[in-house]
């Protein structure tokens, strides 16, 4: 798995794996392999989202804006 893919590329790959896992004609071995790959892709997507969220919050804070916090009603 390449480390220089975009979020969208990881997500597209993850969607493809999910579709193959929904296919009941795959072997258990293929399903486990797909599941494992899906977990890795999901982790990559989360890392990219988390990194970008930190960047946006940092930019907001640098601009004097308050970061959105859903816990503060």
CA 61 – CA 40 distance, rounded (Å)? 32
pLDDT at position 70 is: 66
pLDDT at position 29 is: 95
Closest listed residue to residue 11, CA positions, set 36, 38, 51? 38
Query: How many CB atoms sit inside 10 A of residue 44's CB?
Result: 20
pLDDT classification of 1: cutoffs 50, 70, 90: low
Based on its alpha-carbon atoms, the radius of gyration of the chain, rounded to whole angstroms, reads: 17
pLDDT at position 65 is: 76
Contacts (Cβ under 8 Å, ≥6 apart) of 30:
20
Residue ranges of the domains in the chain? Answer: 7-62
pLDDT at position 63 is: 80
pLDDT at position 73 is: 52
The pLDDT tens digits for 9-54 are: 999 999 999 999 998 889 999 999 999 999 999 999 999 999 999 9
């Amino acid at each position: 798995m390449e480390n220089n893919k975009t979020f969208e590329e990881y997500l597209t790959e993850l969607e493809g794996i999910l579709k193959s896992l929904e296919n009941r004609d795959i072997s258990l071995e293929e399903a486990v392999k797909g599941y494992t790959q899906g977990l890795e892709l999901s982790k990559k997507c989360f890392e990219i989202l988390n990194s970008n969220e930190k960047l946006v919050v940092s930019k907001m804070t640098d601009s004097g804006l308050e970061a959105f916090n859903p816990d503060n009603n």
